[in-house]
Amino acid sequence: MDFDLTEEQKMLQAMLHDFAEKEIAPVADRIDRTEEFPADEIRKIADLGLFGLTVPQKYGGSGRGLVDLCIAVEELARASAAIDNYLRISLSLAIVPVMEYGTEAQKKKYLPPHAGGEKLACYALTEAGAGSDPADMEATATRRKGGYVINGNKLFTSIGDKAEIVVVFATTDKSLRHRGITAFVMDKDTPGLSVGKHEDKMGMHGLSSTELIFQDCFVPEENRLGEEGQGLRIALDALDVSRVTIGAEATGISRAAYEAALSYAKERQQFGQPIANFQAIQWMLSDMATQIDAARLLTLRAAYLHDQGRPFIKEAAMAKVFASEVSNFVTDKALQIHGGYGYTRDYPVERYFRDAKITEIYEGTSEIMRMTIARSIIREG
């Protein structure tokens, strides 16, 4: 087995590490405090071509794999998970249905502006009564001459207020439950589509999460992704990819917290010596370092399987549930090592602690991930 990255991947990693240190980390605290849209940083990320990293070259992208995207996500998330998510969500979740199920016309229309960073994309699936079970969604897509009329509200839509490309899921036949869900791709300025409530979140400040309201919103038939009733499959395929990148994001947050804790433990003096000399601190740091390595390896394995065209759903779920729980463990221990200072906003570990929690929840909770893993191992066994 080869655990080494390719030379090209190592160059990408080194370049993004340097970029994140110089361009993202210095503004991360300000973005967290003000919750402002990091427009300058998003433009700099776009200028590196990252919004086209996995987009095929014929549509203006680099045509690279999920491993490469995970490398990028980890490095950016280490500096700011909120800023990283503008790339991660738009590229690994929202635009995936267009890349995998779009017609040639849809790809030509939506992929080049996304690859150039000109237009972000959002993914509108969740509703007030339809979270882990999309079959309960209330949003409807009613057949009309030449297309569909969509009505309904979507919640927790990350970058819903900033994205100009919207991938939305609605039911064309509620009696069929999950078999009645259909996917659509549309422009943000479509009449009848508006932005509603902005969520006030515990963490990921600077990353907007909004309600999207669809009121008699007409979508031409050529904007449908796939066939009627294929929407849940399309939604889940995108989620499988994005869950791998959440593993990378959680690993990046973990790295930031671990590095901060290690540095602090070497500097902080108590009882006449650095607290890094005490076994209790050493054991915490050892566990943190070990679990971060394991999280990264699980994530890269899932990404590698995807890039090889091999089954990866179970491995994606394993990477997400493990890396996200590691992130919560590591950020908790990092805060503990900082003691009272860790509970203040003078040190970044409290931000890491707040940002880490959502990785156990969005795009499939840890409980849903365990159900996915269990189904796979029982079927395989």
The residues that are catalytic are: 363
319, 243 in Cβ contact below 8 A?
Answer: yes
- Helix/strand/coil (H/E/C) assignment for every residue in the chain: CCCCCCHHHHHHHHHHHHHHHHHHHHHHHHHHHHCCCCHHHHHHHHHCCHHHCCCCHHHCCCCCCHHHHHHHHHHHHHHCHHHHHHHHHHHHHHCHHHHHHCCHHHHHHHHHHHHCCCCCEEEECCECCECCCHHHCCCEEEEECCEEEEEEEEEEEECCCCCCEEEEEEECCHHHHHHHEEEEEEECCCCCEEEEEECCCCCCCCCCEEEEEEEEEEEEHHHEECCCCCHHHHHHHHHHHHHHHHHHHHHHHHHHHHHHHHHHHHHCEECCEEHHHCHHHHHHHHHHHHHHHHHHHHHHHHHHHHHCCCCCHHHHHHHHHHHHHHHHHHHHHHHHHHHHHHHCCCCCHHHHHHHHHHHHCCCCCHHHHHHHHHHHHHHHC
Q: Which two tokens stand for residue 63?
A: 């045509």
